[in-house]
Structures are given as structure tokens and as C-alpha cells.
Amino acid sequence: MKRLQLQRWSSSVLSPQARAGSRLPRRIQHGLRYQSTNPFPVTDAEAEQLFEEEPSRSSIRPSQISKHALPSPPVEAARESAKLAALHARLYLPSRLPLETLGRTLVDESADPNANFNNESLATLGHDLLTQYTSEYLICTYPRLPMTVIFAAMYAYVGPKTLAAMTNEWGVELAAAPGGEVDPGHLQFRRLAPGTNPNETPMRTDRRWEEQTWRRSVTSKVVNDNVFGDPVRASVNPKLLAKAAAKNTAGVSAEEASAQFVRAVVGAIYLHAGRPAAKRFFEQHFLSRHLNISDLFNFSEPARDLARLCARESFEPPVAKVLSETGRLSRHPVFVVGIFSGKDKLGEGAGSSLLEARSRASVAALKAWYLYSPMNVRLPNSMEEDGAAPWKPVHVDLGEVIV
């Protein structure tokens, strides 16, 4: 199995100079001071390559500039912030993750549009890691989950609402407004202008036909949408995006900024402390949270689904039988109905009418099928470790029945 190299990944995220470059430009730049977490500052030439549009907005900021003029706190401030050091210790982050990087994870893109100082790149990496680990865990532990429920479970584990709650539980405070003079221990982002509806985002996708109210299938979601089953934003020319960001017109909601921060922390741990540390961080902070997956199902016609499922798996067709009942002619009757396929009882439910009891029993049978979980499941990411045992394929089922 091919392994990704840390250095190769981190180079693209951290800085264009993280690759072992020539020593000469480093020497030349040595006299200047930079606001950057990079050990090696970006040279002028490379900065111009990155920002062809605006060469003046390079990453170089001599320290003569007043910190009130900076969009985000200077890097030197990270060492003096008590909040940042406390956050580092509170999360038990490895000492290899410097305070400066932790400070950078707290600067949202809306606060500082410069990609070398905001958490955008770290958050992108962190989001990919989080979604990969979560989806591996879900699909291997519950191999028969329907796709829509996987989307919902992904949203519950690493969705923006959960990440925002985690930011709160980590004790991170939000800055009222971003700026260079703000304590770097605060989460900094530009807030939405009053009166804007945060849910009313322009959802222009690349697929025009889906902007109409046509029915979108699960397959289309799997192929085209993001990990939560939401439509992906239309791809915009990055140059236009940079221009829009430079104007600093748009703010983000606190939930979105908090989510970006948590993702950036995961990405930073991956880059600085390595893959095992990132995995452990994921297990301890994300997988240890409580989620009852059987609460995520919403059946519209369970009896029909169960019949289709039995037909697909070539079981005998399901038959509902009354197991016990009380007070049929009274005001509060209770029926207990079992669903049988041949001699096997698939599920059982109680209800105040025969139909209700039957549908409850069907739901119980369907959940029992979908929530099957094999024992001692091994996740594919365990193969990334050195000296891992040879991989045995895990069982992944077909998923939901198609009606």
C-alpha cells in the first residue's frame, strides 16, 4: 500500500519554502522580520508567483508596521498570549505544535485574506482528514447503513454544528472584531452584517439543472455533493475570489468560523505531530462523543421497504401477526405485532392500532438489518502504520433497498 509522505503534503500547505530549498535566499531574507509561522520566509519571487495580481500584497510585513494596521495579530504576539498557552495545554496538544501555528488556526479567512496567515489551508487538510476517518469508521462499523443515514451520521460527527459546539467546549472565546491588536487566543473572524440571513447562501452549483426544483437522487448526491449530502458551491475563479476577499465585504457566521478553527487544529496536528497523533486526537475528541445511530432513521413506508428488502435478500415475504392484544374494544387498545419471514421473527412492535403496530414492527426489523455491526472491525487507516498486519477486506453491504 502506498503511503503518503508527510513532507510532500505539508510542503504545499505550510509554505512554498518548506521544501528544502537553497540556502541563499534564506540568508538574504534573514535580516528582515516576518509575520509568518514558516521557518523560512517566502521570497519575493515566489510571492509574486503566488499573487500575480497584487505583488504589493505579498506576505512580507516588516515589524515597523503598527499592529493596529494588521488584519490579524502579529506572529510574535502568540508567545505572549496567556489564552493561547492555556488552550494549548487544555487540549494536551503535542509540544511539537508551536503556539504560533495554534494562533494561526484561530484566524479565519474572513479576518485575514492573506493565505499565509489564515487557517484556510490547515482547515482544508483537517476537513479531509476528519471526513476520511469518520466515513471509514461509519462504513466499516455499520456496513449496511443507507446512504442518507451515513450523510446524517457524518453531519452529526463532523458537521459544522458539532464543530462549533466543540469550539465552545474547548473554551475558545470569539473576538468581537478581528484586528492586529486582538489577543491571539481569541477566534477572529469578520461577522455577518446585521440583517443578513446566514442560511440564505447563494447555492449556485456547477450543475444548472439542479438549481431547479428537480428531484435529486441519492446517487447524484454521492457523486456530486459534499460529505453531508449538501450541494457543493459553484467553483469560482480563484483570482476573483481573492479580489472579493481583499475587499473584505463578506463575513461568516460564528458557526462556520468555529468549524474552520476545529478543522484547522486537526490539520495542524497532522502536519506538526504526524499521522498517529492526528488519529488519536480524532478518536479522543470526535469518536468519543455520543451518538445513537438508530435515532437517525426516518422511514416513510417501512412495511413496503421491508417487503422489498426480503425480496432482495431472497427471504420469504414478511407476514405481520398479532402476538398479543388488550382492550381491542376499549378506548386504549394495545396491539403487539410481530413481523415474520417464514419461521423467523424479524421484528416486533406495539401500537394502539394494528397498522401502527405493524409499521413499528417493520421499523424495528429494518433497523435490526441496517444496524448490523461486525465484531472486532479493523479500519483501513490502520494499514498506514508501519508493520501493520496484512489487510483482510471488510464486509460492506449493498446499502438501502431501492424502491
Partner 1 sequence: MPVQGIRTVTAARNGVGAFILQCKQLDFHYCDWAGSSRGMVAFLKHQLPAFAKANPQIEIRVSPRPHKHPVIKGHYINGREKAICVRNLEPEQIFNKANLLKEASGEKLKRTKKPITSLNESVRGIWSPYHGGFKSV
Partner 2 sequence: MFSRTALARAFALPVEQCAHFSVARACLHSAATASTTTTTQPQAPLSATPRVQTSAPSTKPPASAPLDPASLKKPVAPTFTKPLELNQSLLSQLPNLTSQQPHYIISHLHDKPYLLTQGDQIRLPFLMPNVKPGDVLRFNRASVLGSREFSLKGAPYVDERLYECRVRVMGVDSEPLRIKEKTKRRRRHVQQVRSKHKYTLLRVMDVKIKTAEELLQEGAVVVDETA
**374 counts as binding partner 2 under rule CB under 8 A:** no
Q: How far is the CB of 87 from partner 1 (least distance, A)?
A: 8
Nearest-CA neighbor of 256 among 211, 313, 198?
198
Residue 151's binding partner, choosing from partner 2, partner 1, none, with beta-carbon cut-off 5 to 8 A by kind?
partner 1
- Report DSSP state, residue 374: -
Q: How far is the CB of 325 from partner 1 (least distance, A)?
A: 9
C-alpha–C-alpha distance, residues 299 and 296, integer Å: 10
CB 233, CB 70: distance < 8 Å? no
**165 counts as binding partner 2 under rule CB under 8 A:** no
Residue 149 grid cell: 443515514
Residue 377 grid cell: 472491525
Q: How far is the CB of 96 from partner 2 (least distance, A)?
A: 6
C-alpha–C-alpha distance, residues 340 and 320, integer Å: 6
What SS3 state is found at 106? coil
Give me the 76-95 binding string for partner 2, x by CB under 8 A, dash otherwise.
Answer: ------------xx--xxxx
Please list every residue from 264 through 293 that binds partner 1, using CB under 8 A.
281, 283-285, 287-292
What SS3 state is found at 196? coil
C-alpha–C-alpha distance, residues 377 and 341, integer Å: 29
Please list every residue from 174 through 233 that binds partner 2, using CB under 8 A.
none
- Report DSSP state, residue 142: S
Residue 193 grid cell: 452584517
117 vs 270 by CB, closer to partner 2: 270
What SS3 state is found at 207? coil
Burial of 82 (0-12, 13-18, 19+ CB in 10 A): exposed
Please list every residue from 191 through 220 that binds partner 1, using CB under 8 A.
218
Residue 113 grid cell: 485574506
Please list every residue from 277 through 296 that binds partner 2, using CB under 8 A.
277, 280-281, 284, 290
Please list every residue from 95 through 154 that binds partner 1, using CB under 8 A.
146, 148-153
**274 counts as binding partner 2 under rule CB under 8 A:** yes
Q: Where do contacts with partner 1 occur on this chain (CB under 8 A)?
A: 82-83, 85-86, 89-92, 146, 148-153, 155-157, 159, 161-162, 165-166, 168-171, 185, 218, 229, 281, 283-285, 287-292, 295-301, 305, 308, 323-324, 326, 334, 336, 350, 366, 370, 400-403
Q: Where do contacts with partner 2 occur on this chain (CB under 8 A)?
A: 88-89, 92-96, 273-274, 276-277, 280-281, 284, 290, 373, 375
